[in-house]
Structure 1
Amino acid sequence: MVLKVDDKPCEETKPILDSTASSEIDDTENKLQEAYRNIAGSMKADPLSIDKPIIALDLFSTAVKVQNVPLAKQCIENLNKHLDKTNVLLILHHLSKCKKFETSYDMEPSAPPLLEEEYEGSHDWVQDLIDNLRNNCLLEIDRNADFILRQKEMLDLTYVDILAITTRDTLQISSEILVYSVVMRWCIEECKRRTLEIQKINITAVLRDLAYAPRYGLMTKKEFLCRTVDGVKGPDRSGILNEVETERILDYIKRKGKNRSGDELPHKGSQPRIVGSKSETNRESRCDKFIINFFTCWTAVFD
């Protein structure tokens, strides 16, 4: 085979991006930014109509990244509107991942802040929105605890979220054995995620304060001494409680109803959860109470 070489001088090639092309790109970027601002402005007048929480959650993440306050607020309002027992764990799990934006969203945004009059220069606006929705998620879990604690999505939550749910005084649970079950099943899944062997030392290390989330003193003797529950060892067999704690709990259960006020178990272990607590205000009741208080004051002034 003969390789033929063309010895003609190569013609000078034109630059890929000449001044005209560069100008056109700049013009396009300006138009995109202007269109983005127009869309953001229209969102203020036209509320989002999204019926799938996952879409609203993705939009919220995007709004945080680009500092679009109106869009972020509308996403939160939309999620609050559609929040129920079937999607609350999805929303709560997603919110725990949003915390990574707290220290990064104000560094080098991908677009300039939109509608700056609403931004108010506050570095807490993201966290305020997240905290509001997270609180409503916890209230929804309170009201539907038996259903939600049985969902497999509970096992995907973070330690902080599991602890927050299972230690709530307002959790309307029918039996503390359900709390124990979800705590232990979450612990086993967490050990797997960390590639730890399912051994007592690892279980204790992963559980930390979760070991005392179930209120053992409110269980029946049969529940506390059961061999297994939902595929995990029962409370007195799991090894998360020491012998002294186990004996004290058993003694309390046996003498239940005869205990003196000073003979309560530590870690709220014998304290009943409060159903219908005053702290359990739903999304609508806050507005209703404001209206009632307003007219009450108005009547008192002009009576």
Structure 2
Amino acid sequence: MASSSKNDLVVNRLLNARLEEGGGADELPPQNMLPSHQHLRQVGHLHEDENGHAPDPAPSATENLQPSNTAGRLHNWQATKTTVKERLSFLFNNEILCDVHFVVGKGANQQIIPAHKFVLSVGSAVFDAMFNGVLATKSNEVELPDVEPAAFLHLLKFLYSDEVRIGPESVMTTLYTAKKYAVAALEEHCVDFLKSNLGTDNAFLLLTQARLFDEPQLAALCLEMIDKNTADALNAEGFTDIDQDTLNAVLERDTLRIREAKIFSAVLRWSEAECLRRQLPVTPGNQRTVLGRAFNAIRFPLMSVEEFAMGPAQSGLLDDREIVQLFLYFTVNPKPNVGFLDTPRCCMTGKDLTVNRFPQTESRWGYSGTTDRIRFTVGQRIFVVGFGLYGSYFGPSEYEVHLQIIHLATKKICGSNTTTFCSDGTDDTFRAMFKEPVEILPNTSYIASAKLKGMDSYYGTKGLRRVTVDCNNGEKVVFQFSYAAGNNNGTSVEDGQIPAIIFYI
């Protein structure tokens, strides 16, 4: 008989002897050594994949210990696991060789989870200190009331098998647990998951969590998302749930791409929710109180007098002196000190882009109080911050200009500013800027308008109806220009003023 056959015979005799001693192959392990049915259902439900779906449950302790037709299956489970990873994975959430139990969570959601000190100590310095340090625990039962059972199971699954099972419902609690037990690799997986699922609908929620868990990289991405999509982020359901420090941090930014009147409306909604959280009546006085210094971060001077009169002036949050001072700010020069910032929120991140619609220039173009206008649409949402305009061909000169962008269908003025620019006598274009970025929606018609006062200037010829701008990130922004009906000082697609639009994506 071959040597391997002898060994098999010896193993089988030993296994048969143990089975006879223990009462037969049909006897199951005691029930207190197995997870409850409820626990098994919870594990199956909470182990989500990256898409938030529950995969097939991992083999439970019952499945691992259930005897099969082969007598050796119950006791010789090692023979079916050919790698270290398979053997360790089999021990996950399993009573076999277990030497510690964790009482995780509290109340109705509390679970008792078995584990193995050696595996945990190898994967976490915190567990190593807990079990092997100078102040190591002597108990074989550890209570973790501040940890969610699902998150703790995600942590153990990673320590036993390197598998990452997180979804939208559990990622934040798993991140907390990974940080608590210093499992940096799982923490990184959680942050990567959050980055890949970051959107305008959850940017404020994730920003709050990133600040709470001290994740500066994630916080920076959230702020960038809010900067580029301010209106959508402020309108998201989670905005009113953020804490006051997060609100302050956002309102202090110069890079928000939205009208100040809309910021005020969003802040009002937040203050109402905060009053309810503090169980206070929703009154103007209480709203201002709960806002604290966030109220002073609202830049009322950036509003138009109409926006201020229709909103903040009637809200009850400002006192009579503040209302009078702000109305004076809008109507007189020199402007009084009103106690609120007037720094424009147009310091956008990245480099601005310019669309140029004229390949050639000619002279001369005159001004007699009539507005130059051109109609345009764009293929994606952008933020216009100014126009490029032609200046004098007689030499250096200064111009006063009133800029506007008008929504064609509603005739609503989306942005306006009265400013000046200086030209140097060349046929270059010169920048005239809005105080705030003007949001331009895709496939929507707008009128670009510029009313100039100054000397005759250069003008553009052989204009283009369609211009594509290549961006640094590989995107392409397509502009369509067409004739703006009405009094337009002669500006058209083919000839005239407003040769360039300056924007951010």
TM-score, normalising length from structure 2?
0.38
Alpha-carbon deviation of 1:246? Answer: 1.4
Deviations 1:112-155 (A, max 9, x none): xxxxxxxxxxxxxxx3xx12211221111010001111122111
Contact (CA 8 Å) 1:180, 1:213: kept in 2 or not?
A: no
Deviations 1:247-291 (A, max 9, x none): 121112224xx657xx564331x21112423699xxxxxxx9xxx
Q: What does residue 480 of structure 2 align with?
A: none
Q: In 1, Cα distance between the equivalents of 2:120 and 2:159?
A: 11
User: Is 2:116 the partner of 1:29?
Assistant: yes
Contact (CA 8 Å) 2:271, 2:291: kept in 1 or not?
A: yes
Q: By percentage of residues, which structure has more strand?
A: 2
Root-mean-square deviation (Å): 3.5
Q: What does residue 197 of structure 1 align with?
A: 281
Contact (CA 8 Å) 1:177, 1:214: kept in 2 or not?
A: no
Q: What does residue 339 of structure 2 align with?
A: 266
Q: How does 1:119-130 map to 2 (within 5 A)?
A: 127=214, 130=215
SS at match of 2:182: coil
Q: By percentage of residues, which structure has more helix?
A: 1
Contact (CA 8 Å) 2:227, 2:255: kept in 1 or not?
A: yes
Contact (CA 8 Å) 2:120, 2:159: kept in 1 or not?
A: no
Which residue identity does 2:343 align to in structure 1?
Q
Q: What does residue 293 of structure 1 align with?
A: none
Q: How does 1:220-259 map to 2 (within 5 A)?
A: 220-226=304-310, 234-255=311-332
Q: In 2, Cα distance between the equivalents of 1:166 and 1:279?
A: 22
User: Is 2:297 the partner of 1:213?
Assistant: yes
Identical aligned residues as a percent = 26
User: Is 2:181 the partner of 1:66?
Assistant: yes
User: Is 2:255 the partner of 1:170?
Assistant: yes
Alpha-carbon deviation of 1:32? Answer: 5.2
Q: In 2, Cα distance between the equivalents of 1:61 and 1:146?
A: 30
Query: Which structure 1 residue ranges, 5 or more long, are not aligned?
Result: 1-15, 17-22, 100-126, 227-233, 281-287, 289-303
Q: In 1, Cα distance between the equivalents of 2:285 and 2:205?
A: 31
SS at match of 2:315: coil
Q: In 1, Cα distance between the equivalents of 2:181 and 2:241?
A: 28
User: Is 2:265 the partner of 1:181?
Assistant: yes
Q: What does residue 83 of structure 2 align with?
A: none
Contact (CA 8 Å) 1:53, 1:91: kept in 2 or not?
A: no
Q: In 1, Cα distance between the equivalents of 2:175 and 2:319?
A: 45
Contact (CA 8 Å) 2:178, 2:184: kept in 1 or not?
A: yes
Q: How does 1:53-202 map to 2 (within 5 A)?
A: 53-96=168-211, 98-99=212-213, 127=214, 130-173=215-258, 175-202=259-286
Q: In 1, Cα distance between the equivalents of 2:325 and 2:350?
A: 32
Alpha-carbon deviation of 1:220? Answer: 1.4
SS at match of 1:214: coil
Taking structure 1 as reference, are residues 24 and 139 closer, same or farther at Cα in structure 2, changes over 3 Å only? Answer: closer
Contact (CA 8 Å) 1:93, 1:156: kept in 2 or not?
A: no
Alpha-carbon deviation of 1:204? Answer: 2.4
Deviations 1:164-219 (A, max 9, x none): 1122111111x111110111111111111111112343222211112222211111
Alpha-carbon deviation of 1:42? Answer: 6.6
Q: In 2, Cα distance between the equivalents of 1:80 and 1:35?
A: 29
Q: In 2, Cα distance between the equivalents of 1:24 and 1:72?
A: 28
Contact (CA 8 Å) 1:211, 1:240: kept in 2 or not?
A: no
Deviations 1:35-77 (A, max 9, x none): 867944974xx8x586x54443232122012211111122213
Larger radius of gyration: 2
RCO comparison, higher one (Cα < 8 Å, 6+): 1
Q: In 2, Cα distance between the equivalents of 1:277 and 1:265?
A: 28
Q: What does residue 66 of structure 2 align with?
A: none
52-61 or 179-188, which deviates more: 52-61
Contact (CA 8 Å) 2:158, 2:186: kept in 1 or not?
A: no
TM-score, normalising length from structure 1?
0.60
Alpha-carbon deviation of 1:79? Answer: 1.9
Q: In 2, Cα distance between the equivalents of 1:41 and 1:273?
A: 50
Query: Which structure 2 residue ranges, 5 or more long, are not aligned?
Result: 1-31, 33-95, 101-114, 125-156, 353-472, 474-505
Which residue identity does 1:266 align to in structure 2?
G
